[in-house]
A and B are shown apart, each in its own frame.
Chain A
Amino acid sequence: MDHRKRVIELSINDEPYVLAVEPQQTLLEVLRDSLSLTGTKEGCGTGECGSCTVLLDGKPVLSCLMLAVECVNLDITTIEGVGSIERMAPIQEALLEKGGVQCGFCTPGMVLATTAMLNRNPKPSEGEIKRSLEGHLCRCTGYNKVIEAVEATIEKISDTHE
């Protein structure tokens, strides 16, 4: 294996990072291990669970399947860039209020996938909601309360836009 490092520049949550990575390092590894952006979770490492979802130029991707070197020149958004305790994004508040969070391990991935969906279409149908979240496993909630939370978010956004 080629372990020689390359120096790359990444833009994460609107902040520039310059770092040396090995070519086989995934974006997930770099986020978590090199940059301590540990809000992005690893449930499988093989593209089956959705817990490692981040946004690349606004589109959800599985960071466990992306190489870090593929992500230069793209805008990366992780859960750390979505909202803070003081200023939560509407989907974060809704997940809390509706009980869409239990162990919380799937939550960052769900938040990012929903954020991307709502940016694309602020009024998605139930089918679209399900398609956007179909790659996200949640073992705790059974999904009903996650769907409720997304629906509540849609309502909240449309209220503030009107």
Chain B
Amino acid sequence: MAELDFVGKSILRKDGPDKVTGRASYTGDIKLPRMLVGRILRSPHPHAKILNIDISQALKLKGVKAVITSEDTLGIKAGFVETPRYPADQYPLAKDRVRYVGEEILAVAATDAYVAEEALSLIRVDYDPLPAVFDPDEAMKEGAPEIHPTHPKVKEPLSNIAGKTQSEWGDVELGFSESDYVREDRFESHLRTHGYLETQITVASYEPGNKLNLWTSSMGPFLKRAKLARLLDLPVSSVRVRKAYVGGAFGGKVDLYSHEFCAALLSMKTGRPVKIEASREEVFTAYRHGQPLIMEVKTGVKKDGTLLAQQIRVINNCGGYRGSGVVVIFLGWGYTMVPYRMANFKYEGYAVYTNNPVRGPQRGHGAPQMRFAVESQLDIIAEELGIDPIEIRLKNARESGEQLPNGDNVHNCGLKECIQSAAEHTQLKEKYGTGRTTASPNGHIRNGIGIGVSSYMSGSLIYPNSSSVSVKMNDDGTATLLTGALDVGQGAETILCQIIAEELKIPFEEIQVIAADTETTPVDIGSWISGNAYVTGNAARMAGTEVRKKLLDLAAEEMEANVKDLVMENKSVWVAGSPDKKISYRKLIGASIQKRRGDPIIGEGHWRTMRDEPFHPSLASTKGRWSENYAFDAQVAEVEVDTETGQVRLLRAVTAHDCGFPINPLLVEGQVDGQVSMALGHALMEEILMKDGHTLNPNWLEYRMPTIHETAKSEHINVITESYEVGRPYRTKEVGEGLVSALLGAIANAIYDATGVRLYSTPFSPEKILYGLGKIGRNQKVS
């Protein structure tokens, strides 16, 4: 195979110099002439009727330019999911009724922030509070306060059901009856949040020629454009969503938010640019966090550890509107289907409305929770059967070429190698079990080791479904790449440039990028479905291939040579064996201008995962293909538990992952490290505390994310299952979500290994550990 010059190399990120010098312009750095500041008034009640809104005093305040309420909107609802089964269920500004604390009531635009805030204080809203419910078990009961009617297709006497997913193959009852051991457990995950450093922020600028310009901190401009155009009843071509640097997103900036709609409408009303920036407190109290799930798992196994049957019931506390709550209950099925073979399976997921804030995707979108439950139970079962945790995983792990029950194929699958290499690298087999049995040399400190496994899809079919890329040659022999992809920090622009550099043999630094502008760049799937490297990458590769072919054809003509004898390197072409007679790209472009009447050299590439599948699989029944490309990983956690204080430290996390091949190893390491840190936070530190729909800890002093003092040693093993060849499609895999997903279970298993305390809920707090050790009572607090 030919040597690669750019792909597979740790090339430094394209946007790095701008970022380290402070030149990178984020949405908040945009300043437009006569720009107004917008602020949003939010509901103080978890559930209430809106009786009256009086804005008259605010309108009299000097500097207030507009106030918008639901009456100023077209009355169109929005939703993360907008399908016939799950139609949009939330107005961008509440109408008549609010269903969670923080729900948007109205927005003002004023000459500065002080005036805007004073205006909010002058607005009077009369509410009639309604009974509210916060716990999903309570909300499902008959007679619970009705937040929305139960979904008409759910044929059960349950209240407040926003959606349901059901899936089944084989015969679970038969599977359980043939099992030697059947185990049932209930696991719970807690509410945690993304913690992106840049808050939610938007600048909207309406040009009366009917063009609405929007800069917004997001994860991809095309979904935002489509949703905004629909809510404002504008042609999509009248809405232009443009790139600004993004200060982290982690799933929290996918959907269109009310503040984006409000900034747009306020700009249309006032004829002036409007900026709306959420405060950190607003992000904590009113924006969308991840999804706390209840997971009931029943599993049947043979004596030798072969998994025979599994029945799973997931309940998602999805808040006052659907948000992505009905997606997570679908995904919960997928995250259990892939890693292990299971002959008989039955899955039910319920999304339940409660009077909590709406939930959205958060890195892994349910996978960390589901894998925590399944991987914890697998260790319980292994111990019961006297099998070690590695053997039981190897016995059931998928192998290359296996067909999944939904018709997908895992293709080249490195899962077994991931499990083996992670275990060997950490000497898991030797260490496992010693924490509990050996007297600890340092008294109350116990060490433990545990493993978890996960699989994640690399791209699926969610609007806009596909990516296109254009590449145009410049007269000086360099190239410009146009992509709709938005770099959210993961390095999207960098890897796309590496691919173009490789295909065209142009130095990386000489590839320019124009990105994420709905007006000038082609469509892109967005940075949320873990498909950037695979889907957009292949589109780029294809565009590069087309340009490459045009250059070679021209060169063959110029040199009277055969294309297959030509060599390309460093912006030049020559006939193999005679590098001294090379011809530069610049000259070739000149030739094109002379001989082909100036035809420019432009290439296009398009990629869509599962080309022939019309849609995403059914959220209700899971029918249909989900992905054509799965990444796999095994993660080992080594922890230290202080049995006197209950404190856990994650000392080391080893991630062995089948990422296909890394396009940029340094960027891949960055993804691994970031996810290890995030999992550490979720497992041991972070929790959004709520009481009656109110957030109790809306700041970083009380919501404790890892600081530089809370780091784990993060080691990675790339399990290579795929390769890159110039001019050919490739199949690399995702690295941005799966690697946060196995570690939660690994940490739980390591804590058990250290202490013998099995934890059934996250976070793994000192209280739970001390209770497990019999040192304190249930629900007793330690300070």
* Chain B residues with CB under 8 A of A88: 17, 20-21
B708, A96: Cβ atoms closer than 8 Å: no
- Quick one: given A103-B246, A139-B196, are A40 and B22 in contact (CB under 8 Å)? yes
* Chain A residues with CB under 8 A of B712: 142
B25, A38: Cβ atoms closer than 8 Å: yes
A133, B708: Cβ atoms closer than 8 Å: yes
* Chain A residues with CB under 8 A of B26: 38, 41, 105
- Distance in Å: Cβ of A53 to nearest Cβ of chain B: 12
- Quick one: given A96-B20, A103-B488, A108-B22, are A43 and B13 in contact (CB under 8 Å)? no
Number of A residues whose C-beta is below 8 Å from B? 57
A104, B700: Cβ atoms closer than 8 Å: no
Interface residues of B in 623-679 (CB under 8 A from A): 666-667, 669-670, 673-678
B699, A97: Cβ atoms closer than 8 Å: no
B666, A143: Cβ atoms closer than 8 Å: no
Residue ID in chain A nearest B703 by CB atoms: A48
A111, B20: Cβ atoms closer than 8 Å: yes
Task: A107 to B20: give the CA distance in the assembly, Å.
Answer: 6
Interface residues of A in 37-89 (CB under 8 A from B): 38-46, 48-49, 51, 78-80, 82-85, 88
B22, A144: Cβ atoms closer than 8 Å: no
User: A7 in the interface, Cβ–Cβ < 8 Å?
Assistant: no
Residue ID in chain B nearest A136 by CB atoms: B708
The answer, among A95, A129, A138, for a CB contact under 8 Å with B197, is A138
- Quick one: given A48-B699, A142-B714, A144-B673, are A104 and B708 in contact (CB under 8 Å)? no
A97, B247: Cβ atoms closer than 8 Å: no
A144, B197: Cβ atoms closer than 8 Å: no
- Quick one: given A36-B31, A99-B670, A139-B195, are A92 and B20 in contact (CB under 8 Å)? yes
A39, B22: Cβ atoms closer than 8 Å: yes
A104, B670: Cβ atoms closer than 8 Å: no
B20, A43: Cβ atoms closer than 8 Å: no
- Distance in Å: Cβ of A152 to nearest Cβ of chain B: 13
Task: A133 to B711: give the CA distance in the assembly, Å.
Answer: 13
Task: A6 to B446: give the CA distance in the assembly, Å.
Answer: 61
Main secondary structure of the interface of B (DSSP, over half): loop
* Chain B residues with CB under 8 A of A83: 20-21
- Quick one: given A41-B197, A79-B22, are A105 and B708 in contact (CB under 8 Å)? no
Task: A41 to B676: give the CA distance in the assembly, Å.
Answer: 25
The answer, among A45, A84, A133, A139, for a CB contact under 8 Å with B248, is A139
User: B507 in the interface, Cβ–Cβ < 8 Å?
Assistant: no
Task: A80 to B25: give the CA distance in the assembly, Å.
Answer: 13
B489, A142: Cβ atoms closer than 8 Å: no
- Quick one: given A103-B197, A103-B248, A105-B248, are A142 and B20 in contact (CB under 8 Å)? no
User: A102 in the interface, Cβ–Cβ < 8 Å?
Assistant: yes
* Chain B residues with CB under 8 A of A103: 196-198, 245-249, 488-489
B13, A96: Cβ atoms closer than 8 Å: yes
The answer, among B280, B490, B699, for a CB contact under 8 Å with A102, is B490
B21, A49: Cβ atoms closer than 8 Å: no
User: A161 in the interface, Cβ–Cβ < 8 Å?
Assistant: no
User: B156 in the interface, Cβ–Cβ < 8 Å?
Assistant: no
User: A141 in the interface, Cβ–Cβ < 8 Å?
Assistant: yes
Task: A142 to B280: give the CA distance in the assembly, Å.
Answer: 21
The answer, among B20, B249, B676, B701, for a CB contact under 8 Å with A104, is B20
B197, A106: Cβ atoms closer than 8 Å: yes
- Quick one: given A41-B197, A99-B669, A103-B246, are A144 and B714 in contact (CB under 8 Å)? yes
User: A156 in the interface, Cβ–Cβ < 8 Å?
Assistant: no
- Distance in Å: Cβ of B567 to nearest Cβ of chain A: 31
Residue ID in chain A nearest B25 by CB atoms: A38
Residue ID in chain A nearest B19 by CB atoms: A104
- Quick one: given A43-B197, A103-B197, are A85 and B667 in contact (CB under 8 Å)? no
- Quick one: given A85-B17, A88-B21, A103-B197, are A142 and B705 in contact (CB under 8 Å)? no
Task: A55 to B692: give the CA distance in the assembly, Å.
Answer: 43
User: B24 in the interface, Cβ–Cβ < 8 Å?
Assistant: yes
Per-position contact with B for A7-39: 1 when CB-CB < 8 Å, else 0? 000000000000000000000000011001011
- Distance in Å: Cβ of B130 to nearest Cβ of chain A: 33
* Chain A residues with CB under 8 A of B247: 41, 43, 103-105
User: A3 in the interface, Cβ–Cβ < 8 Å?
Assistant: yes
* Chain A residues with CB under 8 A of B19: 101, 104, 107
- Distance in Å: Cβ of A128 to nearest Cβ of chain B: 12
A43, B199: Cβ atoms closer than 8 Å: yes
Task: A146 to B28: give the CA distance in the assembly, Å.
Answer: 25
* Chain A residues with CB under 8 A of B15: 104
User: A116 in the interface, Cβ–Cβ < 8 Å?
Assistant: no
B17, A96: Cβ atoms closer than 8 Å: yes
Task: A137 to B210: give the CA distance in the assembly, Å.
Answer: 41
B711, A143: Cβ atoms closer than 8 Å: yes
* Chain A residues with CB under 8 A of B21: 39, 79-80, 82-85, 88, 92
Task: A78 to B713: give the CA distance in the assembly, Å.
Answer: 32
Residue ID in chain A nearest B118 by CB atoms: A1
A139, B705: Cβ atoms closer than 8 Å: yes
User: A5 in the interface, Cβ–Cβ < 8 Å?
Assistant: no
* Chain B residues with CB under 8 A of A146: 708
Interface residues of B in 2-51 (CB under 8 A from A): 10, 12-13, 15-26, 28-29, 31
Task: A80 to B18: give the CA distance in the assembly, Å.
Answer: 11
The answer, among B13, B280, B706, for a CB contact under 8 Å with A101, is B13
User: A154 in the interface, Cβ–Cβ < 8 Å?
Assistant: no
- Distance in Å: Cβ of B351 to nearest Cβ of chain A: 27
* Chain A residues with CB under 8 A of B708: 129-130, 133-134, 136, 143, 146-147
The answer, among A39, A99, A105, A137, for a CB contact under 8 Å with B23, is A39
User: B279 in the interface, Cβ–Cβ < 8 Å?
Assistant: yes
* Chain B residues with CB under 8 A of A78: 22
Per-position contact with A for B707-743: 1 when CB-CB < 8 Å, else 0? 1110111100000000000000000000000000000
- Quick one: given A142-B714, A146-B708, are A3 and B22 in contact (CB under 8 Å)? no
Interface residues of A in 107-162 (CB under 8 A from B): 107-108, 111, 129-130, 133-147
A145, B197: Cβ atoms closer than 8 Å: no
- Distance in Å: Cβ of A150 to nearest Cβ of chain B: 10
Residue ID in chain B nearest A33 by CB atoms: B31
* Chain B residues with CB under 8 A of A105: 26, 196-198, 247-248
B13, A42: Cβ atoms closer than 8 Å: no
B667, A137: Cβ atoms closer than 8 Å: no
Task: A130 to B132: give the CA distance in the assembly, Å.
Answer: 45
User: B456 in the interface, Cβ–Cβ < 8 Å?
Assistant: no
* Chain B residues with CB under 8 A of A1: 114
- Distance in Å: Cβ of B28 to nearest Cβ of chain A: 7
- Distance in Å: Cβ of B679 to nearest Cβ of chain A: 10
Sort A-B residue pairs by CB-CB distance and give the 4 closest, nearest first.
A39-B22, A142-B677, A104-B19, A103-B489
6 more contacts with CB within 8 A, not counting A99-B10, A133-B708, A135-B707, are A43-B247, A45-B280, A46-B280, A84-B21, A103-B489, A105-B196
- Can you list 15 residue pairs at the A/B interface with Cβ under 8 Å? A32-B29, A43-B247, A48-B699, A82-B21, A85-B21, A93-B20, A102-B490, A103-B198, A104-B245, A107-B19, A135-B707, A139-B705, A142-B676, A145-B669, A145-B673
Query: Which A residues form the contact surface with B (CB < 8 A)?
Result: 1, 3, 32-33, 36, 38-46, 48-49, 51, 78-80, 82-85, 88, 92-93, 95-97, 99, 101-108, 111, 129-130, 133-147
Query: Which B residues form the contact surface with A (CB < 8 A)?
Result: 10, 12-13, 15-26, 28-29, 31, 114, 194-199, 245-250, 279-280, 488-491, 666-667, 669-670, 673-678, 680, 699-701, 705-709, 711-714
